A and B are shown apart, each in its own frame.
Chain A
Amino acid sequence: MQTKDINEQIKWAQINKDVLTSLENPRMAYWVAVGICVAMIACAVVAEVYQYQMGIGVAALDWPQMWGLYIGTFIFWIGMSHSGTLLSAILHIVHADWRKPIYRFAEAMTTFSLMTAGLFPLIHLGRIWNLYWVLPYASDRGVWPNFRSPLAWDCFAIFTYLTSSALFLYIGMIPDLAICRDNAKGWRKKLYTVLSLGWAGTDRQWRHFRKTYLLMACFLIPLAVSVHSIVSSDFAMSIMPGWHVTTFPPYFVAGALYSGCAAIITLFIILRYFFRFEEYMTIPILEKTCKLTFVIAMAWSYLNLIEFSSVWYGHNEVDKELLLNKFTGAYSPYFWAMLFFGSVLPFTLAFEKLRRHLPTMFVVSLLLNVGMWLERWMIVSPTLSLSYEPFAWSVQWPSIVQWAIVFGSFGWFGLLFLVFVKVFPSVSMYEVKEMVYHRRRANVESKAHEFGRRSSDPQAATGLPGT
């Protein structure tokens, strides 16, 4: 049974080779996947054009159910994006080096899910063609966005987050791009030459690189937290029962990390399987991710309980009513499903046997995300359907148009990701090298300690794997 995160004896050249081959000549399965994604996007595009022509009515949104799946899915994708930040930034700062083989695609996920999330506020607008009015540009009429509105905050936050995480991803990739450059031919050569910004691996570059990467990581963590807090304030800032909840920011952040980690597990398994990354995306690393996910799942469940109990012991009858309705009313199947997927299912992650069984983990991770998606929907819709004004109560289910667009968003995300894994190394080569290097060094030192030898003793330090 594999216990080490990674095999230190692996040759560096091997690392380069393995990863670089993952960029080349895509197999049939890849093109099929691309095809599927494009088809899904097509559905969404058709639906959106139709909605644009006819008006929001085609989405079967109504009075008072004004937001529905669009905003729910928006939160879902925003949440998804937090995983990358967690894995690369937080774990980087705490020197958890097992992140190294897997953080790259996690960061890519961050960027792409943000690019997906950003679409939904646009799609759900009644007059999308006036979208730019939300941007703070100086107009000669002296009209500005309403900076009091959480929606305006959203657009600041998302813009910042998208920029920063994209840069973070890119900066971290430069040395690998240099490797690609040195091994690529044709258009790829040109592309990588430009992208690697003339990286030569000099000590100066490495020095500044280290600082920059660290600083960015430091920025990204509070940013990620603030972004989802702001998204949560779309609801927490309102006065609606079930929305006006103080615990929403942490609740949202927890949920975000949760769905993000689950998504990482999914992609982890997919990549490991298709790109034969067994050497790098090893079971122990998966286990660590699973444990992390489990912890977050528990935190999320806890915050759920907090919310329920604060409603229960609070004095707002309307809130209580709404909560009871979630438990028993029209939405209850989905609500219970959410609780099951979110709080019960993660216990599979607690068992080593299951954790190490990839198919199980694959299914589980998918279901966890289904649960998290339901959570977002259960935050948005019940409050809209049943709030203060009983005469306005109505439960309306989303129309095919809404579903199509939500469905398509997964295609869009998938397509971006597929393109990414074929153009950019989805495993960070230089960091895996570091990992290998440092781990072996550590071993050597411990050995040396045993034999009371100098660590730099040629015999002890048996050169580099390359030779």
Chain B
Amino acid sequence: MSKHHIIGLFSDFEQAFSAIAEIRDGKIPGVSVDDVILKSPIEHPEIEEVLGERSSHVPKFTLMGAIFGITFGFLFLASAEATFLVQPQGGKPVIPLPSNIVLTYEMLILFGVLFTLISFLVSARMFFKRDNLYSEKVSLDQIGVRLAVDEKNAQALKGLFQQHKAVEIREEVVR
């Protein structure tokens, strides 16, 4: 049973959206709108309208990073100061809160940023090899709608794309 990977490149966003809209309405059996992968040169929120809400976990990681930054930061400083026996002299507390707060704050931001970055790299599937259907046009000015369908539905999908004035349709068959 072979899968047909099909991408249609549209030069008109409206067309692309309406194509997706029809997919969503189940014009093509066996595929749901969630399988649609959209490739576009710019980021545009309207896509949510047609693709439906797709969540992102990045903020959670950010929060974790921030919390880690605070706890680690303060503990690190505190333990360092506690072991640094020179410091308490001169009538000063071993662990000075004001300066530690300042430094902990920096730690918070540092780790927040780092965690955000990592979570982005992971959840955005970076470092993955681009598939063969990738077209430079996408990075220029065209929008691609990509789907994997069974053999019997391939024609229907192509038809749909053409009907919506797809500039170009590529297909790859995976056995």
Contact = CB atoms under 8 A, between A and B. Distances in A.
A and B touch in the complex (CB under 8 A): yes
Interface of A: 11-13, 16, 136, 138, 142-144, 146-148, 152-153, 156-157, 159-160, 163-164, 167-168, 171, 175, 178-179, 181-183, 197-212, 215-216, 219, 222-223, 226, 230, 430-431, 433-434, 437, 456, 458, 461, 463-467
Contacts of B141: 11-13, 433, 464-466
Contacts of A215: 58-59, 62, 112, 116
Contact of A144 (B39, B81, B99, B100): B81
Contacts of B12: 461, 463-464, 467
A465 B138 CA distance: 14
B31 interface: no
Contacts of B92: 148
5 contacts: A211-B120, A212-B120, A215-B62, A215-B112, A461-B12
A212 B125 contact: no
A197 B140 contact: no
Interface of B: 11-14, 17-18, 37-44, 47, 51, 54, 56, 58-59, 62, 76-77, 80-81, 83-87, 92, 96, 99-100, 102-103, 105-107, 109-110, 112-114, 116-117, 119-121, 123-131, 134, 136, 138-142, 167
Contact of B96 (A12, A148, A181): A148
Nearest 10 A-B pairs (CB), nearest first?
A466-B141, A12-B141, A182-B136, A212-B120, A208-B124, A203-B38, A206-B43, A197-B126, A211-B58, A144-B84
Contacts of B47: 203
Contacts of A138: 80
A201 B56 contact: no
Contact of A210 (B41, B43, B112, B138): B43
Contacts of A219: 109, 112-113, 116
B129 A466 contact: no
B149 to A, nearest CB: 18
A182 B43 CA distance: 18
* Residue among B14, B80, B113, B130 with most chain A CB within 10 A: B113
A212 B117 contact: yes
B138 A201 contact: yes
Nearest to B130: A200
Nearest to A148: B99
A142 B120 contact: no
Contact of A430 (B13, B17, B41, B102): B41
A222 B62 CA distance: 15
A182 B140 contact: yes
A13 B140 contact: yes
Contacts of B130: 198, 200
